[in-house]
Structure 1
Amino acid sequence: MQFIKINIILFITILFLQGCSEKKEVTNTSRAIWTKEKANEWYSKQGWLVGANFIPSTAINQLEMWQAETFDTLTINKELGWAASLGMNTVRVYLQDQLYEQDSIGLYKRINTFLNIADRHHIKPILVIFDSCWDPFPKLGKQREPIPFKHNSGWVQSPGQIALKDSTTHPRLEAYVKGVIAKFSTDKRILAWDIWNEPDNMTGPSYEKVEIANKVDLVIPLMKKAFIWARAVNPSQPLTSAIWVGDWSTHAKMKPIEKMQIEQSDIITFHNYDSPAEFEKRIKLLQRYGRPILCTEYMARPNGSTFAGFLPVAKKYNVGMFNWGFVNGKTQTIFPWDSWIKNYTTEPPLWFHDIFRKDGTPYKQDEVDLIRSLTSKTNLVNQH
């Protein structure tokens, strides 16, 4: 009997040690932040990246884009075809954490369908994991109708405020980050993963009355975890998070959250809706990091942020470009940010964002011609 007990104990010990070994092997799959050399080698294979932040015109937000009942492949295919007609070879697309909790298998299938459609048009998306902009209270199910004449009246944050304030939700968020990125970690149809969009955005006049004062303090540790979770599944694509406002003249002058974004990213991404001169200044400041640079948001016509002003500068410095807005639809981003404090009753005299009307006609033919002329000889990425 004693012999049997010893054998049982020995057997359990062996199983335990094997389990520890297996756990160690899983942990060891976590990859390091890319070296400058690796990042630049990756970028050298991409060609000049030009695209848009994309959501189909029939969706008001990320939930409506991706939920099974409103996943509109016909519109996605049509509108990505228009992007390809401009020579665009990439788009930036937002996910939302509640989608994973609702139906992870269904979400995987719809992401795969989207990637197949994009691939047919020779477009490689950046997928955005989290986002601090607009409505802090996302809800699954049927989404509300747009508020007339209001910019992004239904866009939602991820994670929402309730989840952000409750650290017990972190395992759920970890499952989302690891699950989605692991599922597509070697997928060549994906360009990159954007871990958190504008993490310190306090939503301005749109939702400032319901935002929490310590939002950034809650975001910083969660964003650090999100980068760690993402690297833990060893993605073959680069990770990033774009800085968007502040003093970038030296690394020391950057805010703690900006330093983290830069230090955790494989490639440098940033946003700029200012003048062409300021845009070029920002590029030169970011060159000190010696990594590929992508501008993942720009183009607000009344601000002076235009295709004509920005794209030639970007091409000169080989900076990838993603304008905000594509087709005038339910997000209503032809209206400016100040539509949250000013009343608009008709189409603005100058569109804020977007390139096409819903029927596919360009808002400004000269813009479309310019984009095509600049991409015609450089759109070599993703050719099969």
Structure 2
Amino acid sequence: MTRRKLALSALLLISTLCCYSQSTANKWSEQRIWDWYNKQPWLCGFNYIPAYAINYTAMWDKTTFDPVAIDKELALAEKSGMNTLRAVLQYAVYEDDPQYFLNTLDVFMKLCEKRHIKFIPALFDDCSFGITPDPKVGKQPEPLKGWYAWAWSPSPGHSMVTDTTTYPKLEKYVKAVMSRFKDDKRVLMWDIYNEPTNGGLGGTTLPLLKKVIAWGREINPSQPLTIGAFDQNPRLNDIIVEHSDVITFHEYGNREILLRTIEHYKKYNRPLINTEWMNRPFKSTIPDVLDVFYDNKIGCTLWGLVNGKTQTDLPWGHRPGDPEQKVWQHDLYYGDFRPYDANEITLLTKIISQSKTKEYTKQHLHVN
């Protein structure tokens, strides 16, 4: 690295620390976040990537974005009553054509609104299940049979995460997206960063995470901000809890594990929303745990909707030649829209319907 780049990196790190120290200024008070949460229906939805997309680059890219296919899949979700979806945005698509990307987000949100579904955008994502840690726009690879999410594309990509000289570009992206939709009622909340430090990055993600938090607070949207807690990293989780308006978490464990996780996060006295769950081999299933979310009035977004090119029916880490797993890990429907398990859909629809009754909705959610 040149002397000039080193100097610039040092200045950016100093700026990060200064901004980060001020980034709690616009954090929502307990009263404000509970007032917001109490106005919401029971939030029950899914993490969404279209069946045609092998990664989130393909979902958003101008060569493959398909609103017709998306609308058909969201219509399927609407039938069950699911009212929330979460999806990762892709910086590379924005960088390629900022105006196209913002307009495409608007098109997508119109589809969500048509199907009575609120959108949770995730601005960044460190996860990487394949061999390419940096995204590229344009036509994406085809699936490699037997490899779970093999062409997954992080956002903005590991090289940019670890290179602080790229942060001004990322700042423009965050502020452009959030400013455009900061008062948009189609956005439920902003998920600042999906699983920061995952994908082998470790602590190298933290400088960017702190920057993104500061940028988000600077925009000060009318929707709450959050970062999902997903592992047992105390350093990361301290940042997450300190800077999240609503506490969100990922939990793919069974009923007992889920209940322990809920008890852990209840101590922060803020609303709880689970933003990733459902792993059938782990007994994180609709029959096993959905009632836990319902009874505790905790929002939940399972993974995922229609099985497709990501091959998320396979278990994490599955590779070609590994033993076949007979039970799907994720997803509710086959590609032809047949339910993987009709009983799951029946129960899901029944519980969502129950959540709309006066007896359920009139209960105050905040317990001092």
Q: Does 1:165 align with 2:144?
A: no
Contact 2:229–2:249 (Cα < 8 Å) also in 1? yes
Residues 63-110 of structure 1 deviation map (CA, whole Å, 9 limit, x = unaligned): 100011211111110111111111100000110111211111101111
Question: How many angstroms does 1:262 deviate by?
Answer: 1.0
Name the SS of the counterpart of 2:123 in structure 1. Answer: strand
- Structure 1 equivalent of residue 361 of structure 2: none
1:68–1:31: structure 2 CA closer, same or farther, 3 Å change rule? farther
Q: Does 1:358 align with 2:335?
A: yes
- Structure 1 equivalent of residue 261 of structure 2: 282
Identity %: 39
* Paired letter, 1:371: L
Residues 202-240 of structure 1 deviation map (CA, whole Å, 9 limit, x = unaligned): x3xxxxxxx5xxx33321111011011011112111110
Name the SS of the counterpart of 2:97 in structure 1. Answer: helix
Q: Does 1:115 align with 2:101?
A: no
* Paired letter, 1:56: P
Alignment of 1:261-340 (within 5 A): 261-340=240-319
Contact 1:30–1:233 (Cα < 8 Å) also in 2? no
After TM superposition, what 4+ stretches of structure 1 lie above 4 angstroms from structure 2? Answer: 28-31
Q: Give the one of 31, 55, 74 matched to 1:37.
A: 31
Q: Does 1:376 align with 2:353?
A: yes
- Structure 2 equivalent of residue 207 of structure 1: none
Alignment size in residue pairs: 333
Q: Distance in 1 between matches of 2:155 and 2:35?
A: 32
Question: How many angstroms does 1:175 deviate by?
Answer: 0.5
Name the SS of the counterpart of 2:326 in structure 1. Answer: coil
Question: How many angstroms does 1:343 deviate by?
Answer: 2.1
Greater Rg over alpha carbons, structure: 1
Residues 241-281 of structure 1 deviation map (CA, whole Å, 9 limit, x = unaligned): 111122xxxxxxx6111100111111000011111111011
Name the SS of the counterpart of 1:340 in structure 2. Answer: coil
1:142–1:292: structure 2 CA closer, same or farther, 3 Å change rule? same
- Structure 2 equivalent of residue 96 of structure 1: 90
Structure 1 regions of 5+ residues with no counterpart?
Answer: 1-27, 204-210, 247-253
Contact 1:29–1:234 (Cα < 8 Å) also in 2? no
Q: Distance in 1 between matches of 2:356 and 2:227?
A: 25
Name the SS of the counterpart of 2:214 in structure 1. Answer: helix
Q: Does 1:132 align with 2:126?
A: yes
Question: How many angstroms does 1:377 deviate by?
Answer: 3.3
Name the SS of the counterpart of 2:87 in structure 1. Answer: strand
- What TM-score do you get using the length of structure 2 for normalisation? 0.87
* Paired letter, 2:209: M
1:40–1:255: structure 2 CA closer, same or farther, 3 Å change rule? same
Question: How many angstroms does 1:282 deviate by?
Answer: 0.6
Question: How many angstroms does 1:376 deviate by?
Answer: 1.0
Contact 2:54–2:310 (Cα < 8 Å) also in 1? yes
- Structure 1 equivalent of residue 172 of structure 2: 175
Q: Give the one of 204, 210, 218 matched to 1:218.
A: 204
Q: Give the one of 136, 140, 153 matched to 1:156.
A: 153
Name the SS of the counterpart of 2:120 in structure 1. Answer: strand
Q: Give the one of 186, 189, 192 matched to 1:195.
A: 192
Name the SS of the counterpart of 2:229 in structure 1. Answer: coil
More displaced 10-residue stretch of structure 1: 283-292 or 152-161: 152-161
